């Protein structure tokens, strides 16, 4: 008897996406509760979890597309569209608020010309909100590529951005 | 002989430039032909002094801080490698009053040891708790944790021993230990400090928990915002495996315990234990109904002990020094010590581990030195985004679970966020509802819908006339009651606390903008 999975034809997808999905699932899918590690693996390989990846991913994981879509959309960290070259996670939780995070947020949005979840026109920066980076004794905080920054002010942000540009 | 210099690799210290300081010290030492060994320790938790550099001298460790790369040459000139005096000199680290007056049990080694060194861990009393546990019957381990009075430090303050006993009594072919390292509350960082500064203590605590309840597999569910902690934990797990402290045969006892780190994906709700379990199983982090309790039917349907990082990291010292030793700290039904995290608008923020019973005022004034801005304190939020705002008139409340419950507050995970008099409490109340709306898992209606309606009602209060404000306040209080009583978990069930406390203690902030402009 023919295997059921061949009956369902999968939409054509980009080779890079297909390879990433097959590589990550082959490595990680057999552990218990594998979906989050698999999604992390795909996002780490491609920078995002493309919607195109979901049918293949669902088949490899033996889950429904709805299940996978539900998980991807539930978690703030997973993105379904590519981000800019670098992502700025700006904390807007209470501790940072007490040290002027809202003012800093306005400044950064204006400076980069983007709102949260948006990417600058040149594709260099994506701005994301985050609710606590655990740097609360050094508020306000932000994180860029795993690098945490504390006591950020509009002035120190500008100086840092300038230094990154050069 | 080489001189040992400590430069923290704690994420907060790094956020203030510790990496550049370490490099500058290494470079300057090379230039001056000084034989320096740099150890990257955790943070002592004196964050206003970070990056804080320590030097090992004949008279013990002496501290300098806050050090920036530009200070390094001057430190060498001042012969800091032999404890020389400098404007940044803080004297012997242990004698700094802020640190000296603390009672560090869970944090005994944080900031002292090299977090990557198993030998250092053992040299500072590590794995003595496990050695004791290996000589005990599992039931006796559970009893020791019960007798210590240790309660869940993640926020719910449920007695750890009862959780363990329930799991111990359950029969199953597989049990699990899960560590909740999804430290999402604003104002908290003690889990992070332990994982980065003394990861072996968490591994040891989880191993003891496994021995106690008969679990052979553990997971640390770690928030994605903590990449430094992830690296520290993974390195420590590898070292513990290599040292025979994890694996099929722990210390030759014939007992097995395996441990792995799983990364979360940015959902605050996954700090709630049942949604954390859902997430670990690869699903949306939606809250489960209880019962069944996780201790009976938890991860993958199996009996599971799920505890916070601090709870598990406190287990080794209880087994090492005995339940009585730990229980003798504290007050009333709040036994032991609480690692309090002093944050927000505070002059001297950081980690204060003390026996329960210290008052908020002592904490903020004596340790904290008042606000960073120098303005008067107006409100203090304790216990994260779901904790009540406490007015200055209640600052003499002692930090213990029952005293906080009595003022409709909660100690929670021990985060204390200070606000000065520029805070707009209506905006804070609105944020509490907004945050709940963003982070609600969507399973129950009071939280999912109530939080969105809450934002709208507060907006109407602020925009309208006095009559409009009064009408909407009635609505808001009613909505808060519905959320308090009808939500499935603490997110919807406690988000009203900051809102109601703001309404009760700071009604003047809710006068609509039009009225405030007029006055």
Nearest CA in chain B to A41: B263
Nearest CA in chain B to A146: B227
Positions of E strands within A33-117: 86-91
Distance of CA A43 to the CA centre of its chain: 7
Q: Do A138 and B12 touch (CB under 8 A)?
A: yes
Give residue B513's pLDDT: 59
Average pLDDT value for chain B: 97
Strands B415-420 and B337-344: parallel
Q: Of the candidates A37, A135, A149, which has its C-beta nearest B189's C-beta? A: A135
With H, G, I as helix, E, B as strand and everything else as coil, classify residue A98.
Answer: coil
Mean pLDDT by 10 residues, chain B (519 residues): 96 98 98 98 98 97 98 98 97 98 98 98 98 98 98 96 98 98 97 98 98 98 98 98 98 98 97 98 97 97 98 98 98 97 98 97 98 98 97 97 95 97 98 97 97 97 91 97 97 97 96 58
Nearest CA in chain A to B420: A98
Element (H, E) at B179: strand B176-181
User: Measured between beta carbons, which residues in chain A are less than 8 angstroms from residue B341?
Assistant: 136-137
Q: Of the candidates A134, A150, A151, which has its C-beta nearest B183's C-beta? A: A134
With H, G, I as helix, E, B as strand and everything else as coil, classify residue A69.
Answer: helix
Give residue A166's pLDDT: 73
Question: Is B435 part of the contact surface with chain A (CB cutoff 8 Å)?
Answer: yes
Question: In this predicted complex, what is the ipTM?
Answer: 0.95
Q: Of the candidates A131, A139, A151, which has its C-beta nearest B344's C-beta? A: A139
Fold of A86-165: Glutaredoxin (3.40.30)
Give residue A9's pLDDT: 78
Q: Do A93 and B192 touch (CB under 8 A)?
A: no
pTM recorded for the entire structure: 0.97
Q: Which residues of A touch B (CB under 8 A)?
A: 32-37, 39-40, 67, 70-71, 74-78, 89, 93-99, 130-139, 141, 143, 146-151
Q: Which of residues 271-300 of B touch A (CB under 8 A)?
A: 279-286, 300
Give residue B286's pLDDT: 97
Give residue B68's pLDDT: 98
pLDDT beneath 50: ranges in chain A: 1-4, 6-7
* Domains in chain B: ranges and CATH: 3-100 (3.40.30.10), 118-327 (3.40.50.11540), 330-420 (3.10.20.600), 425-518 (1.20.1440.230)
Q: Do A136 and B343 touch (CB under 8 A)?
A: yes
Longest dimension (CA), chain B: 78
Q: CA angle at residue B282 from B279 to B284, to 5 degrees?
A: 55
Domain map of chain A by residue range? 4-74, 86-165
Concatenated DSSP letters of B324-352 = HHHHTSEETTEESEEEEEEEES-SS-EEE
Distance of CA B121 to the CA centre of its chain: 21
Nearest CA in chain A to B351: A137
Which residue, among B217, B344, B442, would best test binding to A if mutated, counting the most A CBs under 10 Å from its CB? B344
Nearest CA in chain A to B188: A134
Q: Do B265 and A39 touch (CB under 8 A)?
A: yes
Q: Do B344 and A98 touch (CB under 8 A)?
A: yes
Quote the DSSP letter at residue B101: T
Quote the DSSP letter at residue A10: P
* Buried/exposed code over B195-216 (b: 16+ C-beta within 10 A; e: otherwise): bbbbbbbbbbbbbbbbbbbbbb
User: Measured between beta carbons, which residues in chain A are less than 8 angstroms from residue B184?
Assistant: 131-132
């Amino acid at each position: 008897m023919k295997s059921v999975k061949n009956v369902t034809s999968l939409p054509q997808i980009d080779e890079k996406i297909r390879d990433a999905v097959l590589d990550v699932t082959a490595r990680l899918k057999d552990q218990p509760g594998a979906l989050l590690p698999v999604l992390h693996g795909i996002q780490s390989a491609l920078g995002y979890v493309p919607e195109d990846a979901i049918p293949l991913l669902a088949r490899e994981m033996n889950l429904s597309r709805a299940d996978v879509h539900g998980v991807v959309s539930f978690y703030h960290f997973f993105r379904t569209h590519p981000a800019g070259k670098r992502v700025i996670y700006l904390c807007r939780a209470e501790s940072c608020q007490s040290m002027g995070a809202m003012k800093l947020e306005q400044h950064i949005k204006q400076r980069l010309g983007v709102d949260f979840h948006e990417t600058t026109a040149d594709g260099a920066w994506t701005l994301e909100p985050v609710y606590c980076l655990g740097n609360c004794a050094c508020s306000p905080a932000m994180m860029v590529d795993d690098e945490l920054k504390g006591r950020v002010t509009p002035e120190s942000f500008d100086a840092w951005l300038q230094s990154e540009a050069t | 002989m080489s001189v040992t210099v400590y430069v923290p690799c704690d994420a907060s210290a790094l956020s203030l430039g510790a990496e550049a300081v370490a490099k500058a010290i290494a470079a300057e030492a090379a230039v001056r032909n000084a034989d320096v060994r740099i150890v990257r320790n955790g943070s002592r938790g004196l964050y206003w002094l970070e990056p804080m550099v320590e030097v090992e001298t004949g008279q013990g460790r002496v501290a300098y801080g806050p050090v920036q790369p530009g200070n390094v040459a001057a430190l060498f000139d001042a012969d800091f490698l032999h404890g020389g005096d400098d404007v940044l000199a803080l004297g012997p680290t242990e004698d700094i009053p802020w640190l000296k007056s603390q009672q560090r049990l869970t944090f005994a080694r944080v900031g002292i040891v090299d977090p990557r060194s198993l030998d250092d861990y053992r040299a500072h009393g590590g794995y003595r708790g496990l050695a004791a546990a290996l000589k005990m019957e599992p039931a006796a381990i559970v009893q020791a944790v019960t007798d210590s009075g240790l309660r869940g430090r993640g926020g719910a303050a449920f007695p750890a021993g009862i959780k363990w006993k329930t799991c111990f009594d359950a029969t199953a072919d597989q049990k699990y230990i899960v560590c909740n390292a999804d430290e999402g509350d604003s104002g908290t960082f003690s889990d992070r400090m332990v994982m980065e500064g003394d990861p072996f203590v968490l591994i040891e605590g989880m191993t003891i928990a496994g021995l106690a309840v008969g679990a052979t597999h553990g997971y640390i569910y770690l928030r994605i915002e903590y990449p430094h902690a992830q690296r520290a934990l993974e390195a420590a797990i590898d070292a513990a495996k290599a040292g025979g402290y994890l694996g099929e045969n722990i210390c030759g006892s014939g007992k097995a315990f395996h441990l792995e780190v799983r990364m979360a994906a940015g959902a605050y709700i996954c700090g709630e234990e049942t949604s954390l379990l859902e997430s670990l199983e690869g699903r949306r982090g939606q809250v489960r109904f209880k019962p069944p309790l996780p201790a009976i039917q938890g991860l993958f349907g199996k009996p599971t002990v799920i505890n916070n990082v601090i709870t598990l990291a406190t287990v080794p010292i209880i087994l090492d020094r005995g339940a009585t030793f730990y229980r003798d700290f504290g007050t009333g039904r709040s036994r032991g010590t609480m690692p309090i995290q002093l944050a927000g608008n505070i002059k001297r923020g950081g980690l204060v581990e003390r026996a329960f019973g210290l008052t908020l005022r002592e904490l903020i004034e004596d340790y904290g030195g008042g606000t960073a801005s120098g303005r008067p304190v107006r409100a203090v939020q304790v216990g994260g985004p779901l904790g009540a705002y406490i007015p200055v008139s209640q600052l003499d409340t002692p930090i213990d679970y029952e005293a906080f419950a009595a003022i409709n507050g909660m100690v929670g995970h021990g985060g204390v966020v200070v606000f000065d008099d520029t805070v707009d409490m209506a905006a804070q109340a609105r944020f509490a509802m907004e945050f709940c709306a963003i982070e609600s898992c969507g399973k129950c209606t009071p939280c999912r819908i109530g939080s969105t309606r809450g934002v709208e009602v507060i907006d109407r209060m602020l925009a309208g006339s006095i009559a409009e404000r009064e009408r909407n306040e009635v609505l808001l209080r009613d909505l808060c009651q519905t959320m308090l009583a009808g939500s499935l978990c603490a997110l919807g069930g406690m988000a009203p606390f900051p809102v109601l406390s703001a309404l009760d203690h700071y009604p003047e902030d809710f006068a609509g903008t039009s009225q405030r402009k007029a006055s």
